[in-house]
Amino acid sequence: MKNRKFCKKFFGIALLMIVIFLFIPVIQVLKLPSVIDVFQGDSIHVLSNSNVNAKIDDAVPVFAVEKGIHGLYIDGEKVGEQNVVFNLAGIPIKKSTVRVLKEMKVIPGGQSIGVQLNTLGVLVVGYHQINSTEGKLSPGEAAGIRVGDIISKINGNSITNMNDLTQYLENAQNKNSPLKLTIIRNKETFETDLTPAQDSLDKNFKIGLYVRDSASGIGTLTFIDPISGKYGALGHVISDADTKAPIVVKDGTIYNSTVTSIDKGTDGNPGEKLARFSTGKEKIGTINSNTPFGIFGTLSQKNDLEKSNIALPIALSSQVKKGPAQILTVVDGNKIERFDIEIVNSVPQKIPAIKGIIIKVTDKRLLEKTGGIVQGMSGSPIIQDGKLVGAVTHVFVNDPTSGYGVHIEWMLREAGIDIYKAEKQAG
């Protein structure tokens, strides 16, 4: 009986050892991406199990594989790409391609900026009733137009602002005829007829819609590409205050902005930077796009902004780790300051996605001044180990000391900056 119990215990332990030695490492290897990116001169940790080996296909490798106490590391040595085979006890498990990328440096921002967006067409933000001879009505609502729709054309002609719309209403007053509107809704386009109604009080013809052709606010510059002059800011999309829908941009401008005071954040009540900027002067760049990853364009005064910070290498999402980091932002006037934060979590995303980083403000000065993350801080660069890793994007409403960030590689992609360009040319 004792021998039988001993045997069962022995085989149980042996089976557990087999699982630890074989099964778990195999699962880890199979989860490795098919393409592994590393910058030239960098080293990345790819596996935590030291029982796995790796063999490089080419006799003249562009990278090296090192085994340490924490597992396998890949060191980027030459720009290019090659395959590596991961094996356990000599048995091949998975083949991956390692791309060694040329180091890329951009200038981190931190400046407070004023943002002026011009919409593509005019944006419908609400309805209003008109007192007409036929009773109270909204011709726009009757025509099937919804809040959030964009009026891009009238009678086949492009509409760029509310003045264009006014001219067509004046013509409609003379002709008393319907208008053929081209509407953009959720990236789809359709046409509808709208017949303006005459207001019984002022006798003017109206469409019964509240519309807007521009939006403005403040944010933070994230990075500048010293070669092309392209920039990225905010780290998140700009949405209309009334419709909550992303603003479809025709064009726009960014300006120098001065922070005048801080509305400190508290639990359940996000704070805000209060700032001023003048659209009549201090224009520093154009806005070409408004995307889920921020606003992007080209600077017109690149040299002035380049003096603010020194270019830093960027980090891929797979390189960002938990631990201490800093953000660059302005909380008083125009002075860019560095504040301590903690990266609580970072998801090594394989495809572009927002909210890939969770951060917590640890700097006592910043907590005393702002309470943590406040509106207007969006776009503040996140620096870790001397590299630009991302940007602040959102605050946790119930905990203003914490919030989300976006990985910098996705912002660079949206700006049209190809971090893989050097690798492709070398190949």
For the chain, what are the domain ranges? 2-103, 106-114+215-422, 129-207
Pairing of strands 35-39, 157-158: unpaired
From 37, 213, 225, 363, the catalytic residue: 363
Please state which CATH class domain 2-103 belongs to: mainly beta
CA distance 379 to 385: 19
CA dihedral 34, 37, 42, 47 (to 10 degrees): -20
Distance between CA 55 and CA 343 in Å, rounded? 34
pLDDT of 60: 78
Q: What are phi and psi of 413, to 5 degrees?
A: -65, -45
Which one of the listed residues 317, 378, 380, 402 is annotated catalytic? 378
Phi, psi of 356 (to 5 degrees): -85, -10
Catalytic choice (96, 236, 346, 407):
236
Fold of the domain spanning 129-207? Pdz3 Domain (2.30.42)
CATH topology of domain 106-114+215-422: Thrombin, subunit H (2.40.10)
pLDDT in single tens digits along all 427 residues of the chain: 555 555 555 555 555 555 555 567 777 878 888 888 999 988 888 888 767 888 887 777 889 888 877 788 899 999 988 999 988 877 888 898 999 999 899 999 999 999 998 888 888 888 888 888 777 888 888 889 998 888 888 888 888 888 888 877 777 655 567 888 898 888 889 999 888 888 888 778 888 888 888 888 899 999 999 988 999 999 999 888 778 888 888 889 999 999 999 999 888 888 899 998 876 667 889 999 999 999 999 998 655 565 667 899 999 988 899 999 999 999 999 999 999 999 999 988 878 888 999 999 999 999 999 999 999 999 999 999 999 999 999 999 899 999 999 999 999 999 999 887 644 433 3
Tell me how far apart the alpha carbons of residues 293 and 238 are, in angstroms, rounded to a whole number.
10
Q: What is the DSSP string of 279-337?
A: TTS-EEEEE-EEETTEEEEEBSSHHHHHTTS--EEB--GGG--SEEEEEEEESSBT-EE
The predicted pLDDT at position 422 comes to 46
Indicate the pTM of the whole model: 0.83
CA distances 187 to 121, 123, 154, 400, Å, are: 13, 14, 18, 34
Tell me whether residue 363 is one of the annotated catalytic residues: yes
Whether 199 is catalytic? no
